[in-house]
């Protein structure tokens, strides 16, 4: 049986689709990435490193998005920014959309267009902070390959040809731009095996009786002065006896093996503290003499891969220093 042919509505469907499209205000991916990066990193400056643009460019993109949508997405807090209530709701949708676009095979670069970033790092920092988080970096930036090269802080030796370098020191580095990566305290630790042999009633008692493991990169002076200030007791002179190790990793390994008491940082010793292999002694903590800094060549052109790595490493260091 032949039924009457239904009149075509193609023209009407097309007009309705066009009308619907005309009522949609779609921002560019550049505007969305600017909002996502600024919200996640907490400032336009940090987002600018990741996106390889200026902070003002990030701010203008966010402002353009807010103007397009007619709502405020970010609010200023001191020197940073944070999402408004509407911004948080919108970001949930933005993250889904960007995630879908990122996972599309059509948006992936072939292997010939991958960017290799050469990172020079002290061995202890690389082993305890960088390597454990490499999978997370690869998931976020699949087109960036890291080449990790060792440097030796005590001998002031670094690998040649680096794009970014993690340095340990007082922050006075010639010929490079730098920013401080860590702002954490130091405190004494020992292994359960060592503490089974000797107990301390006070910081002064520990300073007098313990084997204090020494390292020129982590001098005892700052902690001793803090202990003296808090308790009114104890020597403040740098120890002159005991094993002397020229690397923070070896210093921690000596403490793990029960050779004495070492000064450590939470970012490097976290897994040993959590597992109970190292025990924190006393509540006193002190500002160390040196810190980790991230350096890049002063004449370097803006680089998206370098900016992405810098922004990511900031996040890793902030998380690693949490109590």
User: What domains, with CATH codes, occur in the chain?
Assistant: 10-107 (1.10.10.10), 111-183+291-320 (3.40.190.10), 186-280 (3.40.190.290)
Degrees to nearest 5, angle at CA 3 with 2 and 8 = 125
Could you give the CA distance from residue 48 to residue 31 in angstroms, rounded to a whole number? 13
C-alpha–C-alpha distance, residues 130 and 44, integer Å: 25
The DSSP code sequence of 83-126 is E-HHHHHHHHHHHHHHHHHHH-GGGPPPGGGPEEEEEEE-HHHI
Tokens 């094993």, located at residue? 243
| Residue indicated by tokens 């082993």 | 127
pLDDT recorded at residue 115: 87
> Are the CB atoms for 80 and 42 separated by under 8 Å?
yes
Q: CA 52, 267, 95, 80: dihedral to nearest 10 degrees?
A: -60
- State the sign of the Cα–Cα–Cα–Cα dihedral 183, 318, 34, 78: negative
pLDDT computed for residue 54 by the predictor? 78
Distance between CA 70 and CA 206 in Å, rounded? Answer: 63
**Tokens found for residue 214:** 């020494």
Q: Check residue 266 and give its pLDDT.
A: 94
Q: Of 34-48, 96-110, 173-187, where does the model show the most confidence?
A: 173-187
Mean pLDDT score, 172-176: 89
Give the pLDDT confidence of 249-260 residue by residue, as tens digits. 999 999 999 999
Does 1 score more than 90 pLDDT? no
Whole-number Å distance between alpha carbons of 114 and 142: 8
The strand pair at 262-265 and 186-190 is best described as antiparallel
Interval 159-181 mean pLDDT? 91
Q: What is the mean pLDDT of the chain?
A: 86
Q: Compare 282 and 300 and report the one with higher pLDDT.
A: 282
Bridge partners, 140 (sequence order): none
Question: What's the pLDDT tens digit per position in 196-239?
Answer: 999 898 999 999 999 999 999 999 999 999 998 887 876 778 88
Backbone angles phi, psi at 81, to 5 degrees: -135, 155
Neighbours of 11 (CB within 10 A): 8
Q: pLDDT per residue over 13-62, tens digit each?
A: 544 445 455 566 788 888 999 999 889 988 888 888 777 677 888 899 99
- H/E element holding 167? strand 164-169
Q: pLDDT of 261-296, one tens digit each?
A: 999 999 999 999 999 999 999 999 999 999 999 999
Model pTM score: 0.66
pLDDT in tens, 64-85: 999 989 999 999 887 789 999 9
For the chain, count helices (H), then strands (E).
Answer: 13, 10
């Amino acid at each position: 049986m032949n039924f009457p042919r239904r009149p075509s509505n193609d023209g009407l469907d097309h007009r309705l689709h066009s009308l619907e499209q005309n009522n949609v205000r779609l921002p560019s991916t550049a505007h969305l990435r600017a909002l996502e990066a600024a919200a996640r990193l907490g400032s336009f400056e940090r987002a600018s490193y990741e996106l390889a643009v200026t902070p003002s460019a990030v701010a203008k993109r966010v402002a353009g998005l807010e103007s397009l949508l007619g709502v405020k997405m970010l609010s200023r807090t001191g020197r940073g920014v944070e999402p408004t209530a509407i911004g948080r709701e919108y970001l949930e949708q933005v993250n889904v959309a960007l995630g879908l676009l990122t996972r599309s095979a059509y948006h992936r670069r072939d292997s010939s267009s991958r960017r290799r970033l050469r990172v020079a790092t002290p061995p202890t920092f690389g082993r305890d902070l960088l390597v454990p988080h490499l999978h997370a970096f690869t998931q976020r930036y699949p087109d960036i390959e890291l080449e990790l090269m060792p440097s030796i802080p005590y001998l002031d030796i670094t690998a040649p040809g680096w794009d970014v370098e993690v340095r340990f020191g007082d922050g006075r580095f010639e010929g490079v731009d730098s920013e401080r990566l860590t702002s954490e305290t130091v405190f004494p630790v020992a292994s359960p095996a060592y503490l089974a042999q000797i107990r301390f009633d006070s910081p002064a008692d520990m300073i007098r009786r313990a084997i204090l493991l020494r390292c020129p990169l982590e001098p005892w002076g700052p902690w001793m002065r803090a202990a003296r200030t808090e308790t009114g007791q104890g020597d403040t002179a740098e120890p002159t006896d005991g094993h002397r190790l020229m690397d923070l990793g070896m210093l921690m390994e000596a403490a793990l093996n029960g050779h004495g008491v070492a000064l450590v940082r939470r970012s490097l010793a976290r897994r040993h503290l959590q597992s109970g292999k190292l025990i924190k002694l006393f509540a006193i903590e002190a500002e160390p003499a040196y810190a980790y800094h991230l350096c890049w060549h002063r004449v370097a052109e803006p680089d998206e891969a370098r900016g992405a790595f810098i922004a990511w490493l900031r996040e890793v260091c902030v998380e690693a220093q949490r109590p």
